[in-house]
Structure 1
Amino acid sequence: MKTIVLLIVASLTATSVVAQTIKPMPGMATKAAKTGNGSGIVKALDPKTAKVTIQHGPIAALAWPGMTMAFVANPPTLLRSVKVGQRIDFTAQVTAAGPTITAIKRR
């Protein structure tokens, strides 16, 4: 029984050491963030958290149906150009941080 436990512990330790030595390889392609354009109405703004809530139509490039959702604005200064209730066109990306707005234009 001790032998089996020791073998399991040794194998788990060995795999974690190998995983720690793996490093990113320069020159290898990384996946680009998915990007899509949409239009909608600003429902809420939160400059402190750089978030904007938009009721938007379908965004085919992201396979999103029409819905109301919050986005992080990157850069946060994008929020200065819009107000609640305004119709907008925007560019959104799906990033590790979640849905992100990268461009906003009032209509």
Structure 2
Amino acid sequence: MKKSLMIASSLALVASLAACNKEADAPKPVESAAIDTGSMSEMPMATEIKHGKGVGTVTAIDAAKGIVTLDHGDIAELQWPAMKMGFAIKPELLAGIKVGDKVNFEIDWDGKAGTVTKVEKVDS
């Protein structure tokens, strides 16, 4: 009986040690640098902002939503062909601008949306 108890104890000990060893080999989650520092400044940016200049005609204004629609010519800096498109704009930039006006404008493009940063009516 002593021999059986000794063998059973030895087997239990081997099984326990094997189980402990498997837990030690478990992969650990990778920690992000942004999580460690609590700062978003180290997170990669989606895209860089590009700046372009164009000439176009105002086809719609929604000052309440801060959107102006321009039918513009080519914008070389952004490699855009002529098109009609809506852009975000601060309402104060629209002072003196109305539908039908020909304008020079500058735009910031983040790869998804554009924001008009400057607009001025072209004298006819």
> Fold-level match, TM-score > 0.5?
yes
Q: Does 1:46 align with 2:68?
A: no
**1:18 aligns with one of 32, 56, 67:** 32
Number of equivalences:
93
Tell me the residue number matched to 2:50.
34
The alpha-carbon distance between structure 1 residues 77 and 97, as it changes in their structure 2 partners (threshold 3 A), is: farther
Tell me the residue number matched to 1:80.
95
Following superposition, the deviation at residue 98 of structure 1 comes to 1.5
With a CA cutoff of 8 Å and minimum separation of 6, indicate the structure with the bigger relative contact order. 1
Select the structure of larger CA radius of gyration: 2
In the alignment, structure 1 segments of 5+ residues that lack a partner are 26-30
Which amino acid in structure 2 is aligned with residue 90 of structure 1? F
C-alpha contact 2:107 2:118 (8 A) present in aligned 1:
yes
Which amino acid in structure 1 is aligned with residue 52 of structure 2? G
The alpha-carbon distance between structure 1 residues 76 and 96, as it changes in their structure 2 partners (threshold 3 A), is: farther
Tell me the residue number matched to 2:107.
92
Larger strand proportion of the pair: 1
In the alignment, structure 2 segments of 5+ residues that lack a partner are 1-21
The alpha-carbon distance between structure 1 residues 67 and 97, as it changes in their structure 2 partners (threshold 3 A), is: closer
Following superposition, the deviation at residue 21 of structure 1 comes to 2.0
Which amino acid in structure 2 is aligned with residue 59 of structure 1? I
C-alpha contact 2:49 2:109 (8 A) present in aligned 1:
yes
**TM-score (normalizing by structure 1):** 0.73
C-alpha RMSD of matched pairs (Å): 2.6
C-alpha distance in 2 between matches for 1:88 and 1:18: 46
Q: Does 1:101 align with 2:101?
A: no
C-alpha contact 1:92 1:100 (8 A) present in aligned 2:
yes
Q: Secondary structure at the residue paired with 1:61? A: helix
Q: Secondary structure at the residue paired with 1:81? A: coil
C-alpha distance in 1 between matches for 2:114 and 2:49: 10
